[in-house]
Amino acid sequence: MNTQRRPRLTRTDWLVAGLSALCEQGPGALGAEPLARRVGATKGSFYWHFTDVPAYNLALLGLWESAARQALAASAEADATNATRLRTTAQMIAATSTSDTPALRAEPAIRAWARDDSNCASVVAEVDEARLQQLRGLLSACGIDNGEMARILYASAIGMEDLHDRDAAQNSDAIGSLVDLVLALR
């Protein structure tokens, strides 16, 4: 008989497992039972960390939102020119699926989830607005006051994420070229 105990799962372990499940199987995999099977634990362990599945979902969305805002802040604080910060911000958005941060890699799955879940859609909308505000501010600092340009850059970056399975390596260069083109219009 094996007397070794498995280490106890932490809240973070459950959230990371949820991100993987969401990416691989969609939001239907975010129930207590499928997640418990996935990590080889009991539902009791799940409920030790989360009061219910909606609370878990909110925690998962909070993890993604926090990672997205941290990445946005890091690109804004880069020691560079406004044009370079603009390029860095757009490239960060276009390359979330290849990020070192698991929560950011889940962005395409989070966006798909938001199509059918109002709580998720609300969180995505908040992140979208924060990113658009930063792009608008950087464009303005570069002498481009056409607010539509921020939306065009953002939509292009988000759209490039849909190509991540085939062309992820090309996304950063492509969005960088679009930023360069927009800046050339000044």
The answer as to whether 165 is a domain residue is yes
Tell me the two tokens of residue 12.
Answer: 């973070």
The answer as to whether 101 is a domain residue is yes
Residue scoring higher pLDDT (18 or 80): 18
Q: Give how many domains the chain has, as a whole number.
A: 1
Give the residue-averaged pLDDT of 107-127. 96
* pLDDT computed for residue 58 by the predictor: 97
The answer as to whether 100 is a domain residue is yes
Give the residue-averaged pLDDT of 107-131. 96
- Closest alpha carbon to 88 in 120, 47, 134: 134
The answer as to whether 93 is a domain residue is yes
Q: CB-based burial of residue 112 (10 Å sphere; 0-12 exposed, 13-18 middle, 19+ buried)?
A: middle
The answer as to whether 145 is a domain residue is yes
- pLDDT, tens digit (0-9, with 9 covering 90-100), for 155-168: 999 998 777 656 66
Structural element, H or E, at residue 148: helix 147-161
Which pLDDT band holds residue 119 (cuts at 50, 70, 90)?
A: very high
The answer as to whether 166 is a domain residue is yes
91 phi and psi, to 5 degrees? -65, -35
Structural element, H or E, at residue 131: helix 118-141
- Closest alpha carbon to 35 in 22, 101, 48: 22
Which pLDDT band holds residue 4 (cuts at 50, 70, 90)?
A: low
* pLDDT computed for residue 98 by the predictor: 83
The answer as to whether 46 is a domain residue is no
Give the amino acid at 100: D
- Closest alpha carbon to 161 in 113, 117, 98: 98
Domain of 135 in residue numbering reads as 61-184
Q: Which residues, including other chains, have CB under 8 Å from residue 46's CB and lie 6 or more apart?
A: 14, 32, 35, 36, 56
Q: Which residues, including other chains, have CB under 8 Å from residue 171's CB and lie 6 or more apart?
A: 91, 94, 95, 98, 160, 161, 163, 164
* pLDDT computed for residue 29 by the predictor: 95
DSSP 10: P
* pLDDT computed for residue 165 by the predictor: 58
Give the residue-averaged pLDDT of 25-31. 95
The answer as to whether 75 is a domain residue is yes
Give the residue-averaged pLDDT of 99-105. 90
